[in-house]
Amino acid sequence: MARPERSTSPSAGAAPVGSPGARSFSEALRDRDDAALVALLRARPDLASPSPSTIRSLAARATGRASVDRALAELDTFTLQVLEACAVRGADPHDRTPHTLDVSAVVGGLAPADDVPADDLARAASATAERLEALALVWDAAPPGAPADLRAAPGVLEFLGPYPAGFLAPEPATAPDGDLLAPLDDAPPGARAILDALTWGPPVGVAPRSEARAVAATGWLVTHGLLERLGGDDAGRVAVPAAVALSLRGGLTHRGVRPTPPVPDRAAHPAATVDAEAGRAAEEAVRLVTDLVRSWEQAPPVVLRTGGLGARDLRRLALRLDVDEATAAQVAELALAAELVADDGEVPASFVPTTLVDAWLADDVAGRWADLARAWLTSSRTPWVATTRDAAGTLRSALDPTHTAGWAARLRRTVLDAAASSSAPLAADDVQDVLAWATPRAVPPRDAVAGVWRGAELLGVVALGTLGGPGAALLAEADGGSGASADPVAALDAVLPPEVDDLLLQGDLTGIVPGRPTRDLARLLDDAASIESRGGALTVRFTLDSVTRALAAGSAGDADTLLAALGRHTRGPLPQPLEYLVRDAARRFGRVRVGAALSYVRVDDPALVASFLADPSLRATGLHQLGPTVLAAHVPAAELRTALASSGVSAALEDDEGRTVSTEADRPRTVPPGRRRGRSRYGPPTAAPASAPAERASRAAGLVAARAEAVVGELRSRDTLARAEAAWGRDGAVLAAPRPAAPPGPEPRGTTEPGDLLGLLHDAIAEQTLVSLETVDARGVPVTRTVRPLRLDGGRLRAVDPARDAELTVAVHRIARVVPVHRPAPTTASTEDA
């Protein structure tokens, strides 16, 4: 079916006959004031780098494939729907006839969802159209004083898919003069069903070939202009013309439109409940990382040759923390991101605590949590990849240095912003739906969104599907805020339950802390007891091993010191069984003492000397007897003590005066990657001050604004000079205005500047005018011909040479100069305005 010819007379309300035609995209940009151009360059900073030479060059860059694709990637679903409405209802960019597509016409094509008020949709669509025009994705082609003529910018339509809004492109969906659907009253059976199937898109289908009824209905629709056969398609495809589809839709371009993200139908939780759950999760996250650090300082896991954590070590860590392996991997990644553990770089390498650990452990819960949360928010790590399998079926290890992505920190921020803006609790799938609405052209992977959401829940940044007070303060701090609302430490302190310094000891060697223990009490219990249960109250149990561990760590000193420390936290006397246990453990623990000679072993029982000398596992230490109860070794004291421990003997470490000393100095430590020379293979350090990202963002925004203002000033001066020079060369006479100063040499004609050159070609395509094209052939010989450009895409220009009545295709890099030819192009359209 031949497409209906476009009317050559202006629409009702358009500019009267004889008035100037529609403005080109370049002219619309030139008519903007300086503030609007600065706003455009700030919103699309790629347009200013490198600086365009003229407004025409800026227009060419704004319609380039890379720039348009980058701008569209930032648009939400509603904004894209408004843009599609302008693209499919607006005029063909090559048409110079004024039309009347204003905001009200665009709004009229958007049908709101059932729960969206029409007035709200109209206001949102109007504001969105203004934003699209500010971004130079839509421009008003109407001449001054004429009704608005909104059109999609050149190059935008090809990025909206083959069927924008379900219409057949690039045919504009304009309202017909008559009723195109009138013939349907006499349609054969099945014809209306075919149209219904194609009405809302895609508008293309395969014509039936076997069923007689369907073949007859399709032929009737084609005959009456309600379907058209796609020429040159061997598959026998048919399509609904855009004007017919618009009539079938009742003038609508979209239905069920929502100007805001989808919100799940869930009741919101009270803020106090959310904050309480956030505090519980934050405290638990701090405890898990603390347990990991203390576990790895006692037995550092070996680093795999690929740089990750072995599956057995991860399983051992999960058992120690009493969590599943995926959670254990996230906890390990938290510690790595905060630079609390690192690869020590030794041979063989191990994951050991860093020099930052001691200061971190000395801080309170809120301070430790804030360090973890800041590191998590700015980390480039992707911990959700751990414990999954790749395409080859290989298990991905935790802490693998390849598990990084430059967009990970941006995705975390986007997910938290979605939670902050939602009025209802969200789940991971709900967040995915919100992000799919916010950036439909760049939807993040589902597993990445779910992984970020699990990390936020683990840290307590998000609780019960809602951003809690600590999480909100974390975001405010990242934005460079100040005061109590941007202090995550104070925010978490406000939601944590009050600390309790009471320990209720019982005769069965158990103890109960009725609340959150103080820092000193928590450290004492971590050293001297085993945790049995957590919750509203903390239940611990004292055992021979736990008390021995406290004595060996040196934190308790001796039995009297440990009993005195316990007595300070309990009311009344200590239970007799606990006192017996502590003294018995101290007596057994003190039977064997290790010192440095290089090192020596001193025992109370001479019989142990013979057993040590006969033990084959201790031969590498070079033990030899110095006396009935004293042995010397050829290894340092710490190494000898470790060898005895592997043989099942717990030995105390003593100084040169025979006093038991702490083993804190023996704990392994390494320098954090961020403080080493060179780069860490686990990515850049992330535990930077919280204000640094906000300060960098503020400085970057200031630089962009300053550059935009400078570029606009240069554009105005260059554009004035270029237009004056073009007028001088065209008219061959001095204009009323004085001729601008120019460097010595021949008067410029046209342009050789790449950006300006593309702008001239775009304008010539839009205006259907002729240009003088100077190209360089394969032998380096310049060739000049006058052509009418048709299409510029993929680095190639397709044009028509009227003198030879032939079409040619030229590679853009072979074009040396473009000069506008100021005479009407030889076309049959009588209304074309050259």
Lowest mean pLDDT among 133-137, 298-302, 672-676: 672-676
Confidence of residue 740 (pLDDT cuts 50, 70, 90): very low
What's the pLDDT at 5?
35
726/549: higher pLDDT: 549
What does the DSSP assignment read for 406-455? TTHHHHHHHHHHHHHH-SS---HHHHHHHHHHH-TTSPPPHHHHHHHHHH
81/748: higher pLDDT: 81
CA 748 to chain centre: 47
Task: Taking residues 216-220, report their average pLDDT.
Answer: 90
Lowest mean pLDDT among 23-37, 161-175, 660-674, 685-699: 685-699
What share of residues in the chain are helix, strand, coil (percent, to 5)? Answer: 45, 15, 40
Task: Inform me whether the pLDDT recorded for 2 exceeds 50.
Answer: no
Please classify residue 282 by burial: count the beta carbons closer than 10 Å to its beta carbon, then call 0-12 exposed, 13-18 middle and 19+ buried. buried
824/759: higher pLDDT: 759
What's the pLDDT at 138?
92
Confidence of residue 18 (pLDDT cuts 50, 70, 90): very low
Lowest mean pLDDT among 163-177, 232-246, 262-276, 697-711: 697-711
**DSSP conformation class of 580:** H
Fold of 768-821: SH3 type barrels. (2.30.30)
Phi, psi torsion values for 157, nearest 5 degrees: -60, -35
Q: Of 320, 319, 325, 314, which Cα lies nearest the Cα of 294?
A: 320
Amino acid of residue 555: S
Range from 48-62, 66-80, 157-171, 596-610 that averages highest in pLDDT:
66-80
Lowest mean pLDDT among 281-285, 553-557, 743-747: 743-747
- Per residue in 370-383, pLDDT tens? 999 999 999 999 99
Task: Taking residues 279-304, report their average pLDDT.
Answer: 92
Within 523-650, strands assigned E span 530-533, 538-541, 592-595, 599-603, 624-627, 630-633
For residues 168 and 240, the answer to whether their CB atoms sit within 8 Å is yes
Sign of CA dihedral 759, 762, 764, 766: negative
- Per residue in 593-629, pLDDT tens? 666 567 888 888 888 888 888 888 888 888 888 888 8
- Per residue in 764-819, pLDDT tens? 776 678 888 888 887 777 888 899 888 887 778 888 888 888 888 888 888 888 88
What's the pLDDT at 679?
45
In the chain, what are the domain boundaries? 25-257, 271-495, 499-666, 768-821
Between strands 466-467 and 462-463, the pairing is antiparallel
Q: What gap in Å lies between CA 412 and CA 399, rounded to an integer?
A: 19
Helices (H) and strands (E) in the chain, counts: 28, 27
For residues 91 and 76, the answer to whether their CB atoms sit within 8 Å is no
What's the pLDDT at 735?
41
Task: Taking residues 639-660, report their average pLDDT.
Answer: 79
Return the percentage of the chain with pLDDT > 70, whole number: 82
pTM of the model: 0.74
Within 575-700, strands assigned E span 592-595, 599-603, 624-627, 630-633, 652-653
Return the percentage of the chain with pLDDT > 90, whole number: 30
Count other Cβ atoms within 10 Å, centred on residue 716. Answer: 15
Please name the residue ranges forming H helices in 4-50.
25-30, 34-43
**DSSP conformation class of 539:** E
Task: Taking residues 109-124, report their average pLDDT.
Answer: 90
What does the DSSP assignment read for 715-749? HHHHHHHHHHHHHHHHH-S--SSPPPP--SSSPP-
What's the pLDDT at 177?
62
